[in-house]
Structure formats: C-alpha cells, structure tokens
C-alpha cells in the first residue's frame, strides 16, 4: 500500500490499530475485516506489537491480549541473528524495542513463553478456548 493510501486510511480512522515500527516502516490492522469476523462469531488473532496492543485495548476493552515472550534475551538474539534479516544497527534497535516490550508485558491478560512452538501454540489455543467457552467445554 502506498504511503498516501496509508495516510488516507489513518485519517478515515479505518485502522483498528497502526504503528510506526523502528521509525521507517508503518503497519496496521484494518478495522472492517476484524469487525466482520467478530460479527460472524469468529475469533480473531492479531500478530501485533505492544503499541498496537495498547490501541486495541483502548478500542476493544474486552479483547484478550496475550504477550508472546521469548524464553530469554540470549535466545531472542540467537533467533534474530539466525534469520539474517536485519543489519547490525537494525538488530540493535530491535533488541532495545524487545526489552521495552518485555517490560510492558505486565498489562497483558496472559503471557505465553515461546520456547517450544507446539506447546506455545497449544497454550494460546487453551487461552482462547477458555475465553470463548468459559463453561469449560473444550472447542478443540
């Protein structure tokens, strides 16, 4: 999407959340597809950062916010370096942002440590099951 289109959508309040990431990239979640899915009774999972989560919390106070945490700073560094998607400067900024995000995780409803993908995914699914089916009858 062009910069002009993104700005237009911001002005129209079309985003549920949006943020500038590391000062050189913008990302956001359009409100309409989320609202449509929720109206149809579907659960919606957003993969967003802490600033996006804060905006979702303000706009949708009943949303369940799950913080997906790295098992350790060392493991986060290892994972990011292995991906080789950032320059050294970008990696430094990303790690500083990650530290800030971990420090803010306390206001999320739940935290799941992403140390093992299948277990972390099962934990997230269980949180969603419990939130959408409080009577305890598993949906999965």
At 20, the pLDDT band (50, 70, 90 cuts) reads confident
Buried (b) or exposed (e) across 16-36, using 16+ Cβ within 10 A? bbbbeeeeeeeebbebeebee
Q: Residue 107's pLDDT is what? A: 95
* pLDDT tens digits, one per residue of 99-112: 889 888 999 999 99
Domain residue spans of the chain: 1-45, 64-140
H-helix or E-strand spanning residue 25: strand 25-30
Distance CA 70, CA 75 (A): 7
Domain covering 64-140 in this structure, CATH number? 3.40.50.300
Asked if residues 52 and 18 have their Cβ atoms less than 8 Å apart, the reply is yes
Helix 88-104 to helix 73-83 angle (10° resolution) is 140
Of 9-13, 26-30, 94-98, which has the strongest mean pLDDT? 9-13
d(CA 68, CA 58): 20
Q: Any bridge partners for residue 23, and if so which?
A: none
Is pTM beyond 0.75? Reply is: yes
3-state secondary structure string across 68-124: EECCCHHHHHHHHHHHCCCCHHHHHHHHHHHHHHHHHHHHCCEEEECCCHHHHHHHH
In angstroms, rounded to a whole number, what is the distance separating the alpha carbons of residues 88 and 90?
5
CB-CB contact of 70 with 79 (8 Å): yes
């Amino acid at each position: 999407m062009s910069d002009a289109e993104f700005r237009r959508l911001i002005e129209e309040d079309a985003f549920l959340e949006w943020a500038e990431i590391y000062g050189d990239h913008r990302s956001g979640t359009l409100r309409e597809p989320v609202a449509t899915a929720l109206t149809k009774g579907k659960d919606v999972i957003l993969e967003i950062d802490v600033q996006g989560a804060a905006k979702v919390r303000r706009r949708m106070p009943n949303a369940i916010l799950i913080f997906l945490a790295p098992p350790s700073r060392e493991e986060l560094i290892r994972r990011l370096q292995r991906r080789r998607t950032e320059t050294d400067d970008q990696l430094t900024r990303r790690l500083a942002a990650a530290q800030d995000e971990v420090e803010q995780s306390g206001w999320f409803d739940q935290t799941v440590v992403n140390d093992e993908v299948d277990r972390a995914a099962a934990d997230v699914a269980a949180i969603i099951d419990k939130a959408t089916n409080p009577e305890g009858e598993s949906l999965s």
